[in-house]
Structure 1
Amino acid sequence: MRFSVLHIEENGKDARLVERVLMMHFPEVEVHHVNNLKDFIQLIENNPPDIIISDYGLANHSGEIFLKTCRIEVPDVPFIFFTNTSVGAIRSKLVSDGAKEVLNKMEAERLPEVVENALLQIHVNEEANILSSILSQISDPIIIRNNYGFITHVSDIACLQLGKSLSDLMGTRDVKVPVDFRPIKDKKGNTIGEIGHLRVGSAQMKKFEMN
């Protein structure tokens, strides 16, 4: 799994700890370290990471400044706090401000799980955006299914032709009529599902309605 992490940390020992923990679980991860706001802004402008991990109690700036900057400059990048600060006192506010998770540095073993969940959410969000964009540009009877074969999106005209509501079709695996499916790729060339065009004639529709 190839992805990049930007780690905001002033303590060299803690920076090495995070890099070691991540590389044990994700051998292809690329970790960059910064310890000030100027370098942070320069990096996210020139080479946005997939995930940001940050300490909270920094000498010159609060971690909240980095979070707010992230939400403005790269709003879709997950932001994880990894800090010695008492998590209970700050977690609720930071999550409501847009942090993905807030971990104490004593919970280092949880960091790979939190990072992996963030990566999965990136994929889910990207997939939903791609598929919604596709449907918004198409006025044909289209059905989209995910890599597991479950229907996730149906165009209005497809619902009309099938005589079914969107809720009837979502999550099912078969519409009982011929559909020509082809792969959908994301920006990295990964297959994220299939898009299908209904081939429905009047005889087929009558048979479908009887079922």
Structure 2
Amino acid sequence: MNTTLRILILEDVQDDVILIEHALKKDGIQFELMQVDSQETFINALSEFDPDVILSDHSLPQFNSMEALKICRKQGLDIPFILVTGTMSEEFAVRCLKEGADDYVLKLNPARLSSAIVNSIKQKKIDSERKEAEKALHQQNKELVKINEELDKFVYSVSHNLRAPLTSVLGLVNIGRMEDSKKDDSFQPLFDMMEKSIRKLDATLKEILDYSRNARSDINIERVDLAVIFRTCLESLEFIEGYEHVRKEISIHNDEIAFYSDSHRLGVIFDDLISNAIRYRDISKKQPSLVIEAEIAADAVHILFRDNGIGISEELTPRIFEMFFRATEKSEGAGLGLYIVKEMTKKLNGIIQVTSVPGQGTEFHLEIPNAYPVEKQTNFNRQIW
């Protein structure tokens, strides 16, 4: 110990005090000692002497170590309290440690006193640092809760205060287009560009909302009807340029097996993969196509999205799931779509893989665990489109 310790000793036998002093000096402990032998002097010393360590005999004529320990803890003093006593049963020693004593040393073995003091001080320091870390963590958690609440408000604002006006503006654009059609249609190209920009902004806002909700909301497990989700996705994408030019074929196998997952997240995943197949179709081909094959099993559903679009180069394929990454100049989005697909798939404990050949097309392989697997399987195929 490089510092001088203030040691308060509760002891009424002077010879024992001398014995303790000798043991500490022998081990090179630098200390300043104050001896007390009553409750009153002990209480006064706690405030006036401000000890670093307390050594206490167990039994004094009108006072004992357990009473002294309770006084220390009642005053909020978290300093090492070590019993130094003549005899002590193992049972009583355990009870003292449970009451809050840091250690005990028998007067017959004073050689262990120095190490007991040093170890108790080190342990108190560790405990103090741990409590400070827990306090800091608690404060960080409070700040994080506050940030999350503010983020909730932001998401609500994006959803209601931004997307709603866009819908109104789009309605006004359509009214303007109808009025212009009664004349010479001279402003139709401008209306088309306005609508395209509005839908692009709305799609970006939707991606932000999808990302936030996926990260912050729990999974909602329910029985899933894949056919309904696919049909809803196609209906929502009818306005996309080129939708009518892409032949879409969707089939589901073994759909009598109950499949349980999160319908909303699956809808977002399907929506993005289908819209990408439409947006990045190969217009040089006679018949752009998208084939979706889903096979439901007791443990998982396996879905293949296969298109004959422009494809993705080999060196870019590993990066398509990165945030804000766009694999082609034709991309007009914010680069969040496939990133969100990956994150939602992970949220569902699923796996998504991609293979692509430029000029030939792209395949996405999706595997989503069945959250409520059934034991018996039968083969049954259903063609939807």
What band does the TM-score fall into relative to the shorter chain? 0.5 to 0.7
Partner of residue 62 from structure 2, selected from 47, 60, 63: 60
Contact 2:29 2:114 in 1 (8 A): no
The Cα offsets for residues 9-57 of structure 1, whole Å up to 9 and x where unpaired, read as 1110101111221233243222211111111101112332121110012
The 1:89–1:131 alpha-carbon spacing in structure 2 relative to 1, beyond 3 Å, is closer
1:49 is aligned to: 51
Deviates more, 1:51-60 or 1:17-26: 17-26
Letter paired with 2:86 = N
Q: CA deviation at 1:73?
A: 1.7
Note the 1:80-91 alignment, pairs <5 A.
80-91=82-93
Query: In structure 2, what residue type is equivalent to 1:29?
Result: F
Q: Which has the larger radius of gyration?
A: 2
Supply the distance in 1 between the matched residues of 2:10 and 2:57 (Cα, whole angstroms). 6
CA distance in 2, matches of 1:12, 1:90: 25
1:87, 1:103 within 8 Å by CA — same for their partners in 2? no
CA separation of 1:92/1:135 partners in 2, compared to 1, >3 Å: closer, same or farther? closer
Please name the residue that 1:31 is paired with: 33
Using structure 1 for the length normalisation, give the TM-score. 0.60
SS in 1 for 2:61: coil
C-alpha RMSD of the superposition: 2.5
Matched residue SS, 1:70: helix
Q: Please, which runs of 5 or more residues in structure 1 have no aligned partner?
A: 141-159, 161-201, 204-211
Task: Name the residue aligned to 2:16.
Answer: 14
Q: Is the 8 A contact 2:84 2:107 kept in 1?
A: yes
User: Sequence identity of aligned pairs in percent?
Assistant: 26
CA distance in 2, matches of 1:74, 1:107: 31
Deviation at 1:135, TM superposition (A): 4.3
Aligned AA for 1:80? I
1:89 deviates by 4.7
Distance 2:134 2:64 in 1: 37
Give me the whole-angstrom Cα distance separating, in 1, the residues matched to 2:56 and 2:64.
Answer: 10
Name stretches of at least 5 consecutive residues in structure 2 with no aligned partner.
Answer: 145-214, 216-322, 325-385
Shift of residue 136, structure 1, vs aligned partner: 4.4
Residue in structure 2 matched with residue 93 of structure 1 by the alignment: 95
Larger RCO (CA within 8 A; separation ≥ 6)? 1
TM-score with structure 2 setting the length? 0.34
**Match of 1:20, as an amino acid?**
H
The alpha carbon displacement at 1:95 in A equals: 1.2
- Equivalent pair of 2:58/2:64 in contact (CA under 8 Å): yes
Query: SS at the partner of 1:82?
Result: strand
Report how many aligned residue pairs link the two structures. Answer: 144
Determine if contact 2:103/2:120 at 8 Å carries over to the other structure. Answer: no
User: Which residue of the other structure, out of 104, 107, 112, is the alignment partner of 2:106?
Assistant: 104
Q: 1:107 Cα shift?
A: 1.5
Question: How has the CA–CA distance of structure 1 residues 9 and 74 changed in structure 2, closer, same or farther, with 3 Å as cutoff?
Answer: farther
CA distance in 1: counterparts of 2:130 and 2:53, whole angstroms: 19
Q: Is the 8 A contact 1:21 1:108 kept in 2?
A: yes
1:14–1:74 Cα change, 3 Å: farther
